[in-house]
Homo-oligomer: A and B are copies of this chain.
Amino acid sequence: MINYPIKRKKQEKTNNRANLGMTLEGDIESTNQYYLNANIAVIHKKPTPIQVVNVSYPARNKAKIVEAYYKTPSTTDFNGLYKGRYIDFDAKETNSKTSMPLKNIHSHQIEHLRHVDKHGGIAFLIVHFKQFDEYFILPSHVLFKYWDLQYDEKKGRKSIPYSAFKNEAYPIQFSYSPRLDYLKVIDTYYFAKK
């Protein structure tokens, strides 16, 4: 019984996404643009870090990069400002139905989120389980717990189980505008507590 409306909703979502051809990153960027236009928050995606090796100047004042390589990011992809608070997160997708592999996350991203957490920022991941078309905010303390657990000889596992998302993360509803209203979730779980 309780699954039925969720299934219908999932159908609609799939249609939306097919029409718009969006990725998780695109959905978040479109949501951030909505937040900016509506004067709700100032959150941006950082550019992808690229190591430029060679530049040519085929025309005056127009530099053409002819050799460059992608670098590993040293922080997360998204950060910004909401209600006077510093917000910092990364977005991860998984095709798995049972867990999110920890190899999707770089150790320096974990380090960065730990710093943010320690200095009073709001740190989390947005995780998309593609097979269920479900989105979650995974708070940093839950992320750190599973990250550290992987080095535990007995309990160690290289992923965060789907059940942890159901029990310890917060769902984000996908909708038309904004697509992924993650700040609504932040309101409920971070600001309401205070």
1/0 per residue, CB under 8 A from B, across A32-76: the answer is 000010010110101111101000000000111111111101110
Q: Known contacts A41-B119, A65-B69, A85-B86; can you find 12 more A-B pairs with CB under 8 A?
A: A39-B118, A42-B116, A44-B74, A46-B46, A47-B49, A63-B69, A63-B70, A80-B86, A81-B116, A81-B119, A83-B119, A84-B119
CB contacts (< 8 Å) of A41 on chain B: these are 119
What is the total number of copies of this protein in its complex?
2
Residues of B within 8 A of A121 (CB): 42, 81, 84
Task: Assess whether A115 is interfacial by the CB under 8 Å rule.
Answer: yes
Residues of A in contact, count (CB < 8 Å): 40
Could you show 6 A-B contacts with beta carbons less than 8 Å apart? A42-B119, A47-B48, A47-B71, A48-B50, A81-B88, A81-B121
Q: Which listed residue, B52, B62, B81, touches A120 by the CB 8 Å rule? A: B81
Determine whether A79 belongs to the interface, using a CB cutoff of 8 Å to chain B: yes
Tell me the residues in window 76-123 of chain A with beta carbons closer than 8 Å to chain B beta carbons. Answer: 79-86, 88, 112, 115-116, 118-121
Determine how close the nearest CB of chain B comes to the CB of A105; give it in whole angstroms.
18
Q: When the two chains form their complex, are residues A65 and B67 in contact, meaning their CB atoms are under 8 A apart?
A: yes
Chain B's closest residue to A51 (CB) is B65
- The answer to whether B86 touches A81, judged by C-beta atoms less than 8 angstroms apart, is yes
Q: Is the CB of B75 within 8 A of A44?
A: yes
Task: Output the residue of A52, A74, A75, A119 with the most chain B CB within 10 A.
Answer: A119
Known A-B contacts A64-B67, A64-B69, A120-B81; A47 and B50 likewise in contact (beta carbons under 8 Å): yes
